Every structure is written in structure tokens, then in C-alpha cells.
Structure 1
Amino acid sequence: MKMKIVADSSANLLALPDIDFGIVPLHVIVGENDYVDDDKINLTAMQEDLSSYKGKTSTSSPSPHEWENAFGDADVVFCITITSTLSGTYNSAVIAKDIYEQNHAGRKVYVLDSLSTGPEIALFIEKIAELIKAGFAPDDIYKTLLEYKDKTHLYFSLASLNNFAKNGRISPVIAAGIGLLGVRVVGKASEEGTLLPLDKCRGEKRALKKLINHLKECGYTDGKIIIAHNNNEAGALELKKLIENTFGIFNGKIQKTRALCSYYAEPGSLLIGFEA
């Protein structure tokens, strides 16, 4: 039985070792420019364009056809999408699932709305890969994934909200107050899949301390952690150090955001997915 994991590009991954894995790119639209979030994208050019462009910007979901192509010829597909509150990607994947299963009798696609993005999705993907390699049956993998999902979290520290404003999600007046004098928004992905602001912090050091406090509140001890950063490796390393000093271990990795996450988590921002 051939099993495959397919995710959209908000997972910040391009490949997985020793597992059949596919990525379906989202798009970032800046004026007339369409940036496809794949391995060919020029992230520097995209972010410079976003910074200088004064008009409305947006993101675009993959089509059902793109999802169906990514499923390939797998007998079983585990499909993970960005939260449906930020994108129509989940709905597109569900349509692709129905078409794929109708056209290929006996094949099965499991679609999971992550209610999150970035490093928390990466944790889901790693868990599925682990279960596939361990020889679990498809239904058991999906059941275990749903149970695992209740034990993971996504928190963030955003250095700017300009793209949220250009996307029409918040008032430009509110966005203008963030980033000035080093103010950062610390928050989390809610149980409903929305991005929920929790704290406004003056300076990155205070924001990192807030993130550590939130890990404690979630009951974190030594679970897996993935820190994703947008041009803020120093901040990611400082957070790693704080985690080591607070919990005695850093059981994880640091990665860079790709285009979709870089759109919402602008330069200087951090995303942290973890098990608790």
C-alpha cells in the first residue's frame, strides 16, 4: 500500500527524508506580481515588494486540480492544510479528495484542517511520517493524529501587522501602532483556528519572556519544538537558549519561514510550534 503525505506550503517544508511527500504552493499577490510559494520563489524580492507596495495585497489558495495532481498515484493520502479561517485551502483540498476518491476506487484521502500554520503543521507531518514508518494502518494513523493534535500548540511573536492591514484583515490604524518603538504582538492559534493576540510587548526580550510564560501555562516540559523565523535567526537562537535554561532541554529545531508564513509573520517575527 502506497501512502503519501501532502501539505500546502504554509508548512515551510519542501521535502521529507525517506517518505513520499508533496507540497502544494499557495500564492502571495502583490499588485500585478504573483509569487508562487515553491522552491523557485525569490523570497527576498517578494518581501521587498511587500514592503514598498502601498496597495492591497492578498494570498491565493491552490486549486482542487493542484491538490489532485499532488496526490499522485498513492493508495492513501494524508493531506494537511493551513487553518480554514485564513484561507480557502482546506475547502479546495476537500473538493480534490472527493474527485480523487471518485476517480480511483479503493483509494482514500484523509484531509485535516490544521486550525494552525507553520511549525505546528510541520509537527503533524513529522508525526504522520513516524507512524507510517512504524507500520500503522491508515485509520489508526488518522485517529492518532487527531489525538496528537490536542497536544500541540502554535504561538507567535509578530514584529509587524502591515500585511494584515493591506489584506483588509485589520485596520491600518491598528497596524501602524505595531512595530513602532519595537512593539510586538504575542499570541497563539486559538482552538477555532484564528490568530488570537494575547500580549503587546515593547521589545523582543519582553516578547520572548512572554512566549516562555505561555509555554509554562500550556504545561510544556520536554516535548518537540519547532521555531520558525522570518529573517530573525538571532531571535530564534535567543528563544532556544531561554527554553534550554528554563526547561533544561531544547528538543527541536529552527527553520526559516517560506512565502506564505512570511506574508503573515513579517520580517523579525517568530512562530513556535510545540508538544505539551
Structure 2
Amino acid sequence: MKFKIIADSAADLNEFEGIPFASAPLKINTDEKEYIDDANLDVAEMVEDLQNYSGKSRTACPSPSDWKDSFSDAENVFCVSITSALSGSFNSARIAKEDYEEEYPDRHVSVIDSLSAGPELQLIIEKIKEQVNLGKTFDEINKHIAAYKEKTGLIFMLASMKNLANNGRVSPFSAKAAGLLGIRVVGKASDKGDLEPLDKCRGEKKALASITENMRKLGFVGGKVKIGHVCNENAARTLKDLLLSKFENIDIEIYPTRGLCSYYAEKGGLLVGFEKAGAI
């Protein structure tokens, strides 16, 4: 096996066609139950459980051995992780890389900090596959992906920020705004990979309009868009129609988020990954 892509489960992918692929699952834990973010997880049930749970919850990243075991016997491995600002998954993958390359000096591992989550990881993974299929070398692919990452973005809409606040990802003060009187928080993944609020909108309709306008401000003029939703397909479809009415040459995919992204985005949330002008 020459090339393989490994992504942690923040990519919302259990499988990926066209190239050897594996997912390294994160875990969501409460004092009562552990949810492993793999193909067996009932995401809707987990979301409902956590909505009704009043205790503390937390996440756990894949261990270095989880990452390394996924490498199999690949000569060239690309690991794509959730932003290092939200998880230790990136650091675990780096330890796995060091162990693997020490054990097999003729093999190579690239660990890519997405500085993002969900649909933006999918854009990166698709681009890696494209470059592999074009016959590019390991070093050429790394160079191309570093440039491509500068031309992608993530924007989100959240109806609740309880889990983010409880895990220290946002301040409790910021979290209080979401959900009050129908308020939706619209924000983006910053250049440092943390969460940057952009707008507070009363009602979903205004939030979707804000997403569209902020995508334009961030450099979207057309291209690939991936919309991940947490039990909110209607909002995802409304956003798709809105984008199609405002922009040309768009390739939009809608999908339900998996466990980790559903945990942080919470019920009703949207995550939107998109290409910016100049993405190749």
C-alpha cells in the first residue's frame, strides 16, 4: 500500500472511497456513558441523551497507538486532525508519526493540523486524494495541501454553546448568548484554529443570511461547499438554496455530522466548509 489517509472522526467520515482510508475515533464521555465516534454510534440518540443530561461531559482524542495502528503498512501516510486548539488529536498523531518513521525509516507520515473541524477537513481529504490520483509525490502533495488550506474556510451557526463552554472552548459569557430568545451565534474558525464569533442573530433565517454574507466577506465566490448539520437538514437545505441564488459554479453537499462535531455544534447547529477564491 503506497498511500493512505487517516482522519480523526472530527472529519465526519467513517469511510472514503477512491484511496485507502481509516478513521481514528474520538470519544465523548459522561459520568454515565462513553460514546465512541465510529460507525456504530447512533448520533441522534447521543444528541438526545446529552440534551437531557445535567452532569459534566468531555471528549477524549485518539491515542498515539490509535493513530499508528491505522497506518497499517502504508509507505506514505497523511493524517488530518481536528484543530489543535480544540483537541490533543494533532499531538497524538505527531507522536505516532515519530514512532512509525523511527520503526520504518523508508516510510513517511505527514500530520496536518486542519485548524478546523468537520466539512473543512473533508475538503482537505478530497484534495489529498486528487493529488495522489494525479501521481504527485509525497513532498509535492504536502506543498499543495499547505497552499490549499489557505484557501478554505469554516463558518458555523450554533443554537447552543453549552458543551463548548463546559469544556473551556469558549467563555461562559459568550455561551450565554446562544439559545436566548432564539439567538443563533454565527462564527468562523480563526487562522489560529479557535472559534471566532462573527454575528448574533435572532432566528434561524437571519443566521442563514449572515452565513451567506460572511462567506462572501471571507472570500467565497463559488466552488465546493460542504454543509454538515446536527439534526437540522431543513436549515441545511435552506442555506443551500440561498447560496445557489447568490453565487454561480457551486458544488454543494449536505450531510449529517457524526459524534464529535454533533457534540460541539449541538442540536440545530450547522458547520459549513467552503473554498475561497483562488483555491486549486
TM range (shorter): over 0.9
May I ask how many residue pairs the two structures share in their alignment? 276
The equivalent of 2:45 in structure 1 is 45
AA matched with 1:85: A
Describe the shift of the 1:18–1:170 C-alpha distance in structure 2 as closer, same or farther (beyond 3 A): closer
Deviation at 1:167, TM superposition (A): 2.3
Tell me if structure 2 keeps the 8 A contact 1:240–1:250: no
Deviation at 1:168, TM superposition (A): 3.9
Describe the shift of the 1:91–1:128 C-alpha distance in structure 2 as closer, same or farther (beyond 3 A): same
Any residues of structure 2 matched to 1:18-33 within 5 Å, and which? 18-33=18-33
Deviation at 1:173, TM superposition (A): 5.8
The equivalent of 1:70 in structure 2 is 70
The equivalent of 1:109 in structure 2 is 109
Tell me if structure 1 keeps the 8 A contact 2:78–2:111: yes
Deviation at 1:42, TM superposition (A): 1.7
The equivalent of 1:58 in structure 2 is 58
AA matched with 2:251: N
> How far apart are the structure 2 equivalents of 1:217 and 1:172?
28
AA matched with 1:166: N
- The 10-residue stretch of structure 1 (70-79 or 41-50) with the greater mean CA deviation from structure 2: 41-50
Does 1:165 pair with 2:168? Answer: no
Does 1:127 pair with 2:127? Answer: yes
> How far apart are the structure 2 equivalents of 1:239 and 1:250?
13
The equivalent of 1:231 in structure 2 is 231
Tell me if structure 2 keeps the 8 A contact 1:30–1:49: no
> How far apart are the structure 2 equivalents of 1:172 and 1:190?
19
TM-score (norm 2): 0.95
The equivalent of 2:197 in structure 1 is 197
State the identity %: 50
SS of 1:54's partner is coil
The equivalent of 2:140 in structure 1 is 140
Deviation at 1:44, TM superposition (A): 2.3
The equivalent of 1:94 in structure 2 is 94
1:97-123 deviations in Å (ceiling 9; x for gaps):
000111112000000111101000000
Q: Structure 1 segments of 4 or more deviating over 6 A?
A: none
Tell me if structure 1 keeps the 8 A contact 2:226–2:272: yes
- The 10-residue stretch of structure 1 (248-257 or 170-179) with the greater mean CA deviation from structure 2: 170-179
The equivalent of 1:181 in structure 2 is 181
SS of 2:13's partner is coil
Describe the shift of the 1:174–1:115 C-alpha distance in structure 2 as closer, same or farther (beyond 3 A): closer
1:140-178 deviations in Å (ceiling 9; x for gaps):
001000000000000000111111233244455653442
Tell me if structure 2 keeps the 8 A contact 1:55–1:166: no
AA matched with 2:160: S
SS of 2:223's partner is coil
AA matched with 2:234: A
AA matched with 1:194: D
AA matched with 2:178: I
Tell me if structure 2 keeps the 8 A contact 1:9–1:24: yes
> How far apart are the structure 1 equivalents of 2:125 and 2:6?
9
SS of 1:181's partner is helix
The equivalent of 2:3 in structure 1 is 3
Segments of structure 2 that go 5 or more residues without pairing to the other structure are none
TM-score (norm 1): 0.97
AA matched with 2:59: T
Give the CA RMSD over aligned residues. Answer: 1.3
SS of 2:48's partner is helix
> How far apart are the structure 2 equivalents of 1:169 and 1:129?
31
> How far apart are the structure 2 equivalents of 1:50 and 1:174?
20
1:204-259 deviations in Å (ceiling 9; x for gaps):
11101111111111221221110110011000000000100001343121111000
